[in-house]
Amino acid sequence: MTPREAGYNLNGVLKSGPVGEDDRLLGVGGCLGGCVSVPTSKSMAQRALLAACVARGSTRLTGLPEGADVLAALGIPRLLGVLQQVPGSDQAAVRGMPPGIGAGPDHSWMVGESGTLARCATALGALGWNPGTSMEIQAAGSLLTRNSPALMGTLDSIGVERQELGVPGGWPLRVRSVEPPEEVLLENPSSSQEVSALILALAAWPEPRKLMVRGSIPSRPYVELTRSVLETFGVRVREESLSGRMRCFYIQGPLVAPEQPLAIEPDASAAAVALVGACLSGGEARIDGLGLGSVQGDVRIVQHLEAFGCQAGETQVDGRPALWASGSPRRGATLDLSGEPDLAPVLVPLAAAAAKAGFASCFTGLGTLDGKESPRLTGLAQGLRDCGFEVRAGEAELVVAAGHEPCPAPVLDAHGDHRMVFAFCLLGWVIPGLRVAGKSHVAKSWPNFLTDFEAAGVNWTHYSGPR
């Protein structure tokens, strides 16, 4: 199923109205095993595509994933007229337009439902473009209800003209570019994406810049991912801890297109879905081309699986790293997910399996989950309760008590959230007969999720749903 078939247009924006595939509910069975095909990293691809737009020279990228979030990112260089891509190919070339090259026309950029793309495109449009250029950032779906107050506050403080066209501090909006000052301050970020967005925009300029960040940075590994991508463009980012909960990022641009093609590695978040699926279904799965040395924070799924008593690790296949996992959960776990909160939907089904075996589990560091495509923490807690588990949820934690009260298998609605589809499908191996509504939303990050899992031994059952 392609993103367009799943209800997305060529810019990666979710179309209005119901999607026909959602009229059928999904159940899971079979045993997942072998080498599982997963998409490449959308987080890495989005950052690389935006960096290429303002880099000096032409950037070649390979291994671009097909998900709607990356289609939206590809829409930006396409609208700028700097994208070369063979239809149906995972390769592209982007001819950069760094600050100072031409006057630059006004543009309207469509970011779909991606928070990462929205924040990075907003900062880039405001600070990484020629001064005086007007950019309109359009959004869709749940992004229309989300905001980014810390990022908007930073832009306001340095004189960026900003017109709100939707919710306060959110999208859609219009910004007029300014040349950034030598020092920029971000206070109390609510997302690592705000830090990444400003680092990316400041890196477009040849003169050194400083980003001062006051307060803790959620989901910190994603900042390291941004730094890693920018390093391939020749940008140096040095970090220093200062007093008073202040950190300084010293950024030395400009962005320069790498000489060799930039290859996007397998997505660690998708790999986590497959590895957990193997453990819950009684199989053994392997993800080739991804190792524990990856800068993607979600490779910590290996440690988390081991915490539940599963077997997991890294091996070598044809000289390349690969992650693998097998074995059912044998105990509960207490995990701090502050660095990788998006793994919570994948790990909760493991906690459910452990609870059925008489073990409790606790997840902390989940304070950002309810601000995602859906209120994930709330949705996970309610989904477990509907399945007969005793759950306690706070603002940033989820506790799954030992034990399980048998009940009729429910229908769980993913509420338009791709990660909740993955979570509830995995939970189907713990609660036989469970059905999931909203399967088409996997197009956001993994359009071939159903067929890739089928190829690895999974049996999907399609039920008639409400019409």
HEC per residue, the chain = CCCCCCCECCCCCECCCCCHHHHEEEEEEECCCEECCCCECHHHHHHHHHHHHCCECEEEEECCCCCHHHHHHHHHHHHHCCEEECCCCCCEEEECCCCCCCCCCCEEEECCCCHHHHHHHHHHHHHCCCCCCEEEEECCHHHHHCECHHHHHHHHHCCCEEEECCCCCECCEEEECCCCCCEEEEECCCCHHHHHHHHHHHCCCCCCEEEEEECCCCCCHHHHHHHHHHHHCCCEEEEEECCCCEEEEEEECCCECCCCCEECCECHHHHHHHHHHHHHHCCEEEEECCCCCCCCHHHHHHHHHHHCCCEEEEEEECCEEEEEEECCCCCCCEEECCCCHHHHHHHHHHHHHHHHCCCCEEEECCCCHHHCCCCHHHHHHHHHHHCCCCEEECCCEEEECCCCCCCCCCEEECCCCHHHHHHHHHHCCCCCCCEEECHHHHHHCCCCHHHHHHHCCEEEEEEECCC
Residue 389 maps to a domain: yes
Paired strand residues for 62: 263
Question: For residue 466, what pLDDT is reported?
Answer: 54
30 lies in the same domain as 89: no
223 lies in the same domain as 100: yes
Mean pLDDT of successive 10-residue stretches along the chain, which has 467 residues: 33 35 80 97 97 96 94 94 88 93 74 95 93 93 94 97 96 95 97 97 97 95 96 97 92 97 97 98 97 96 98 96 97 96 96 98 92 87 97 95 95 93 97 94 94 97 74
How far, CA to CA in Å, does 275 sit from each of 83, 230, 287, 455? 35, 29, 8, 15
How far, CA to CA in Å, does 280 sit from each of 72, 172, 325? 33, 41, 10
Question: For residue 2, what pLDDT is reported?
Answer: 34
175 lies in the same domain as 201: yes
pLDDT (tens digit per residue) in 142-180: 899 999 999 999 999 999 999 999 999 999 999 999 999
Residue 318 is a catalytic residue: no
Give the structural domain span for 132. 42-262
- How many CA atoms, within 13 angstroms, populate the side-chain half-sphere of residue 198? 29
Torsion angles phi and psi, residue 355, rounded to 5? -65, -40
For residue 378, what is the domain's CATH number?
Answer: 3.65.10.10
Among the options 22, 69, 342, 413, which is catalytic? 342
210 lies in the same domain as 252: yes
Residue 14 maps to a domain: no
Report the number of distinct structural domains present in the chain.
2
172 lies in the same domain as 258: yes
Question: For residue 388, what pLDDT is reported?
Answer: 97
Question: For residue 373, what pLDDT is reported?
Answer: 81
Question: For residue 23, what pLDDT is reported?
Answer: 57
Last residue of a domain, one of 216, 242, 262: 262
Last residue of a domain, one of 240, 262, 284: 262
Question: For residue 12, what pLDDT is reported?
Answer: 32
pLDDT (tens digit per residue) in 35-93: 999 999 999 999 999 999 999 999 999 999 999 999 999 999 999 989 998 788 899 99
Last residue of a domain, one of 223, 242, 262: 262
152 lies in the same domain as 225: yes
Residue 6 maps to a domain: no
